[in-house]
Amino acid sequence: MVACSIDEKLLKILACPACDDRPLVKLQCDELVCEKCKRHYPIEDGVPVMLPEKASKEE
Amino acid sequence: MNNEQKAREIFGARAAYYTTSVSHTDQAVLDRVVELCKPTSDAIALDIATGTGHTALAVAPRAKQVIATDITPEMLDQGRKLQTEKGIGNVQFRLASVDDLPFDDGSFDIITCRRAAHHFADIHHALAEMQRVLKPGGRLVIDDRSVPEDDFVDATMNRLDVLHDESHVCEYRPSEWERMLTEAGYEIEVVETYTRHRPLSSLTDNVSPENTARIHEIISALDADQRLMMNVVDKDGVTHINHWFVMIAATRG
């Protein structure tokens, strides 16, 4: 599982780079999700892609 | 194309080269960076613009965890290969930009940033972002290309480096670093400078024929005094030139 490679402690400091107040993102399935702006950041080969332009967004 | 896109394009193509690059694996420099970080076994460190991860992998054995970020996926792929080769398990790679660091405030004990700040489009914003994610009292160690406190050398070196690498923004003088860091609220502990005398090919390798020709034109146009200032010397028929560097340790005030 890709998601298992994300260390839980390190996940706790991972925040949304697109939101000014940097809310923490949450691991959902194999993506990191910002609950505020609804961006989904992919995890590619175990590397979280924390770039807003690479994120998908819920409508 | 903005600067970040330019950097991604250039460094994506050069990723494999950087894992063996002489200047980027300079062990004495890496050792000094680690020393200035003062890592402890419980430290969480961030290495910004990690490239192929040399600095992150040097800090890792003396820290609890290192997160290594870059905007170029190809660089991180090389970094992860190096990590596997070295058998280091506590470095995690993230694709992220210094402009918008994807971390909570006060997350890190240490931030390192080597040979990258001269690419940052907005250095003031970058320094503020780094300060935001540092813990109070956390340490920032920057190692970067620099220029001496001289208008001619400053302008010429920056011009050469833009031709060498179009994502180059500015290499700053030590005094500029001191001012920028102080204005950003850091307390400066150490500012050290050093030079390396490198073949001119260090500026022309992987560079377009047009820009290579312009680099040679600039070098040819230097008069004797200017050659002395830039330390342009022919060694066994190979033109060498100075590269200036600065290393800084500061704490979040």
Q: Which two tokens stand for residue B28?
A: 């004495």
d(CA B49, CA B70): 4
Domain A8-57 has CATH 1.10.10: no
**A38: CB partners within 8 A, 6+ apart:** A57, A58
Q: Which of B77, B94, B105 sits opposite A22 (nearest CB)?
A: B105
Residue B93 in contact with partner chain A when CB distance is under 8 A: yes
B218 φ/ψ angles, rounded to the nearest 5 degrees: -65, -45
d(CA B12, CA B8): 6
Q: What torsion do the CA atoms of B44, A18, B143, B137 make, to the nearest 10 degrees?
A: -50
Interface of B with A in 44-73 (CB under 8 A): 44, 65, 67, 69, 71, 73
Q: Which of A10, A15, A24 sits opposite B65 (nearest CB)?
A: A10
CB B64 within 8 A of CB B43: yes
Handedness of CA B81, B78, A17, B251 (dihedral sign): positive
Of B237, B245, B70, the closest CA to residue B167 belongs to B70
Burial class (CB in 10 A: 0-12, 13-18, 19+), A20: exposed
ipTM: 0.82
Whether residues B103 and A14 touch (CB distance < 8 A) is answered with: yes
Number of Cβ pairs closer than 8 Å across A and B?
60
Burial class (CB in 10 A: 0-12, 13-18, 19+), B189: middle
Residue B3: predicted pLDDT:
78
The number of CA neighbours under 13 Å toward the Cβ of B113 is: 25
Nearest chain B residue to A9, by CA: B65
CB A59 within 8 A of CB A41: no
d(CA B186, CA B250): 6
Residue B7: predicted pLDDT:
80
Nearest chain B residue to A54, by CA: B95
Quick check: A2 pLDDT over 50?
no
d(CA A9, CA A6): 9
Quick check: A4 pLDDT over 50?
no
Quick check: A1 pLDDT over 50?
no
Mean pLDDT of chain A: 86
Whether residues B73 and A12 touch (CB distance < 8 A) is answered with: no
Pairing between strand B91-95 and B65-70?
A: parallel
Written as tens digits, the pLDDT of chain B (253 aa) is: 787 887 877 777 767 666 656 665 688 899 999 999 999 999 999 999 999 999 999 999 999 999 999 999 999 999 999 999 999 999 999 999 999 999 999 999 999 999 999 999 999 999 999 999 999 999 999 999 999 999 999 999 999 999 999 999 999 999 999 999 999 999 999 999 999 999 999 999 999 999 999 999 999 999 999 999 999 999 889 999 999 999 999 999 8
Question: Of 3.30.70.60, 3.40.50.150, 3.30.1240.10, 3.40.50.2000, which CATH number belongs to B3-148+167-195+245-252?
Answer: 3.40.50.150
Whether residues A22 and B92 touch (CB distance < 8 A) is answered with: no
Whether residues B105 and A44 touch (CB distance < 8 A) is answered with: no
Whether residues A51 and B97 touch (CB distance < 8 A) is answered with: yes
Residue B16: predicted pLDDT:
67
- One-letter-per-residue 3-state SS of B84-101: HHHCCCCEEEEECECCEC
d(CA B242, CA B29): 16
Whether residues A50 and B95 touch (CB distance < 8 A) is answered with: yes
Which residues on chain A are in Cβ contact (under 8 Å) with B93? 47
Which residues on chain B are in Cβ contact (under 8 Å) with A48? 94-95, 102
**B114: CB partners within 8 A, 6+ apart:** B24, B33, B47, B49, B51, B54, B55, B142, B143, B144
Residue A6: predicted pLDDT:
62
Mutate which of A5, A47, A53, A54 to disrupt the B interface (most B C-beta within 10 Å)?
Answer: A47
Residue B94: predicted pLDDT:
95
Q: List the domain boundaries for chain B.
A: 3-148+167-195+245-252
Q: Which of B65, B93, B97 sits opposite A47 (nearest CB)?
A: B93
More confident residue, A4 or B168: B168
Q: Which two tokens stand for residue A43?
A: 């995890």
